[in-house]
Amino acid sequence: MLLQQFVMDALTRLNKQAMTNNVNFDVIGTIDSPYKEKFAIPRQPGIVSAAQGKVILNGSANSMDAVRGLEQFSHIWLLFVFHGTQDLGWKPLVRPPRLGGNKKLGVFATRSTFRPNPIGMSVVKLDKIEQQGTQVILHINELDLLDGTPIVDIKPYVPYADIIDHAQGGYAHQPPETNISVEFSDDAKTILAKVVSEYPTLQSLVEQVLKQDPRPAYKQKSIDERVYGMTLYDFNIQWQMVGASTLRVISINITKNKS
């Protein structure tokens, strides 16, 4: 009996330890975003107001009951998984782009995507909640999320609790400064005019994304003749710095995925 009790106690301790060390989450939704690749995604939400997307709920969370009352809130918290980088692992020290990519800080003093657990959080504007057949969709704005991002929780943004007036933001207390102007080539303007009815905010989205200078941190604030590319919605956009603070969109091409 003593041996049996000892074994049972040991198994109980092992089960408790396993429960403590491992937590499983269900994916409750997926992001439909204009950002089809990691490059050029804003480093924080709210910076690019023209970025519109959707949260497509799934599984048992795909229910109007689950979002009842959420329409009262103008903004929501999205907790998500950094699925684009989670397989790359993490390190205790990272180089925040805000510090030019030259200074190392502890990962917990940053919002790096490379974390022990690849969990992110983002505040987005909630435009409306829609049901199409059996599918519940949250239309959102000002997002900074990669297309296909798995969502693990949604919470309402509560201003009196979530805004702390006297909070200190360390090295990121103020929003990043940018004085970049964006111009478009004639070819790019032609494409924008052709697709404006289907993508009315595309030009604003391109401008707002590029004004943040998405180049690597060590190249920012410098003249760089390299031609860069990024994908927004169904378009590959190529651009280049043509001066210390001027950027030109060279071309806008429809990707092969566009039907």
Q: How far apart are CA 183 and CA 207, in angstroms?
A: 8
Mean pLDDT, the chain, as a whole number? 88
Is 2:122 a contact under the CB 8 Å cutoff?
A: no
pLDDT at res. 2: 53
Does 258 score more than 90 pLDDT?
A: no
Helix axes 186-195, 202-211, angle to 10 degrees: 130
pLDDT at 253: 93
pTM of the model: 0.83
Is the pLDDT assigned to residue 14 strictly greater than 80? no
**CATH architecture under which domain 29-83+118-158 falls:** Beta Barrel (2.40)
| 191-212 pLDDT per residue, tens | 999 999 999 999 999 999 999 8
16-57 per-position pLDDT tens digit:
655 567 888 899 999 999 999 988 888 888 889 999 999 999
* Predicted confidence band of residue 259 (pLDDT cuts 50, 70, 90): very low
pLDDT, greater one: 255 or 80:
80
Q: What is the pLDDT of residues 87-142, one digit of tens each?
A: 788 889 988 877 777 889 999 998 888 899 999 999 999 999 999 999 999 999 99
Number of H helices, E strands in the chain: 4, 12
Average pLDDT over residues 168-193: 86
Domain ranges of the chain: 29-83+118-158, 181-254
Q: Select from 23, 46, 173 the least CA-distant residue to 98.
A: 173
Side-chain-side CA neighbours of 234 within 13 Å: the count stands at 10
Q: How far apart are CA 80 and CA 150, in angstroms?
A: 6
pLDDT more than 90, % of the chain: 59
- For 256, the token pair is 């092969």
What distance in Å separates the CA atoms of residue 79 and residue 91, rounded to the nearest whole number? 22
Give the largest Cα separation in the chain, rounded.
Answer: 86
Instruction: Please name the fold of domain 181-254.
Output: YaeB-like fold (3.30.2310)
